[in-house]
Amino acid sequence: MKTQDNRDRIAAIYVRLSEEDHDKVHETDDSLSIQNQKSMLLEFASKHGWTVYDIYNDDDYAGADRSRPEFNRLITDAREGKFGIILCKTQARFTREMELVEKYIHGLFPIWGIRFVGMVDGADTSVKGNKKARQINGLVNEWYLEDMSENIKSSLDDLRRKGHHIGAWVRYGYMKDPNQKGHIIPDPVAAAVVERIFKMYLEGNSRADIARILNSEQTPPPGLYKIQQGDKYKNAFMAGEWDSCSISRILKEEMYIGNMVQGRQASESYKTKKLRTLPKEDWIRVIGTHEAIISLETWNQTQALLAVGARSFTRSEEIGLFSRKVYCGHCNKLMRTGRSKRKSGTYYNYVICVRKHPEINPCPVHAVSNALMEKTILDQLDILAAKYKDGSLFSEIMDEESTIGIEIKRLKAELAQHKKKLVEYESGLKCLYLDKASGSISNSDYQFLSRELSAGKELAERKVDLCTENYNKILRSQEILREKAGVLESYSRPKELTRSMVETFIDHIVICSSSDGTSKQEIKIYWNF
C-alpha cells in the first residue's frame, strides 16, 4: 500500500465498455474501446506526473449494472486509501446513475480523500464550482440511461406484438427455427412428450400420476432436457424431476396451441434486474404465430377440467358425464351425479339435486337421466349448427365481429392518444428539472409546475392502464367469437356425447320444473357460444 504522503499523486484508472461500443474481435479480447481508453488515460496520468496504482477494467458491463466486479473492487480499494485519484474517460464511464454520482463522487470520495477526474468531460472534484456541472451531467446521463432502457423495452415489445419470439430460451416442446430469426418450430422429441401429457390428463390421470409415470420412464424434464441438448441453461428450475407443478405449467401453457405469449414479467426499474410478474391481461399475446402442438379442442377440454378440478372417465374411477355442470333451478345448488342398477343388471347414470330429500323444504326437481340430457343437447346442437351453416347464425356472428372490430379500432386510437400524452408529461418533467438545475426558474415555480405536471402524468398513466385493460378484453372477445364460429362450422352429430364435448360446448345446465305444471323436467342449456 502506498503511503499517505504521496497518495494524492497515485491514480486508479477505471475503464468500462460503453453501450455504444461494439468492436470486439474475439470474446476473450478487450474491446478496442477499452484499449483506447487505457492508452489515453495512461498518457494523461503520465503528463500530470501521477503514478498508476492499478487499472480496473469492466469490459462487457453496462453503466447501470451495479454488480460490476471491477467497479466494486475499485470502491473497496478507494475506501482502504490505496490511492488518491480515480481517473476515467468521462463521468458516464464511472456511472450513469445520479444516485451513485451523489453517493460516491459528491459524498464518500471527499470523505475518503479521493479526487475524481473525468478526462474528456472535464469533471474534477478538485475544481471549485464544478459540482453543479457534474450534477447536471449526472442527471443527463441518468435520463439517457432511462430513455435507452425504455427504447430497448419498446423495441422488444414491438417485436413481441409482431409475434417474434424474444429470449434466449424457448418454451419446452419448441426450438428456434434455424432458418427464420424470431420464429419457433416444434422440437420433435419434446413436442411428443407435451402431447402425451395432455392426452394422459384427459384420460383421467392426475398431475401427480403423470409426473410419476414420466419419472419412472426416466423422461428428462424441461430444464434437464435443455442441458442434455447442449444449451447453457443457467436456471436450475425443473432440472431434476417432473412434479405436479411442472405438469400444471405445461397444461396451462397457451403457446402449445400456436399463440405467442410473452411479456409475462417486467423489471422493477432500469436500475435493478429484479422482476415482477405482470397480470395476465398485460401479457403480449399474438394468435397463430407458429405451428401448434396441441389442438384447440384438446386445449379447451383441458382448461375446462383444470378450472373445475375434475377428471375425465377412467376404467377404475368415473366422474359423471355432466359432473359440475348441472344446477338446480329452484335452489341454485350444483346437482349431484349418481348411478343406479336396474333390475336387468344394467346401470344408468343421472343427476339429482342435493336437496331432493331434505327434511325441510325439499326441491321439486326429480332425478334426470343422462340419456335424456344427452339427447336434448345433441338435438339442440344440430339446430345451432344448421342455423350457422344456412347463414342465419353466421350473419349474427359476423355482425357481432364487425361491432367488435369497430371497438378495437376505437380503443387502439384512444390508447395511442393516452400514451402520447403520457410521453409529453414525462418529457415536461425532465425539462423542468433541467431548468431548475441550471437556475432558469425559481424553486417555488419549479414546485408548482412539478405538481401540475406530476398530476397530469398520474392521470395519463391511469387512462393508459384502463384503456389497455379494455383493449385486451375486446381482443379476447374477438378471439372467442372466432373460436365459436370454427366449432359450429366443423360440427357433425356424433353417435354419443362425451365428457370432452360437454366441456367444449356447454357452460352450464339448469334443471327446473316444467312450466305446464306437470312432473316433466325442463332442461335449459347455456352454451359456450
The pLDDT value recorded for residue 424 is 85
Contact in structure between 317 and 197 (CB atoms under 8 Å): no
Cα separations (Å) of 268 from 265, 274, 276? 10, 6, 7
Residue 58, SS3 per DSSP: strand
pLDDT in tens, 3-52: 455 888 999 999 987 544 444 444 444 445 678 788 889 989 999 999 99
Q: How many CB atoms lie within 10 A of CB 446?
A: 16
The grid coordinates of residue 295 equal: 389442438
Cα separations (Å) of 216 from 109, 194, 403? 61, 17, 53
Contact in structure between 30 and 105 (CB atoms under 8 Å): no
The Cα 440–Cα 429 span in angstroms is: 14
The pLDDT value recorded for residue 198 is 93
More confident residue, 392 or 465: 465
The grid coordinates of residue 481 equal: 367469437
Could you please report the per-residue DSSP string of 480-521?
Answer: HHHHHHHHHHH----SS--HHHHHHHEEEEEEEE-TTSSSPE
Q: How many CB atoms lie within 10 A of CB 396?
A: 12
The number of residues in the chain equals: 529
**Domains of the chain and any CATH numbers:** 4-159 (3.40.50.1390), 165-308 (3.90.1750.20), 392-490 (1.10.287)
pLDDT in tens, 431-444: 877 777 777 788 78
Please say if the pLDDT value at position 238 is more than 50. Answer: no
Confidence of residue 103 (pLDDT cuts 50, 70, 90): confident
The grid coordinates of residue 23 equal: 468492436
Full-model pTM? 0.40
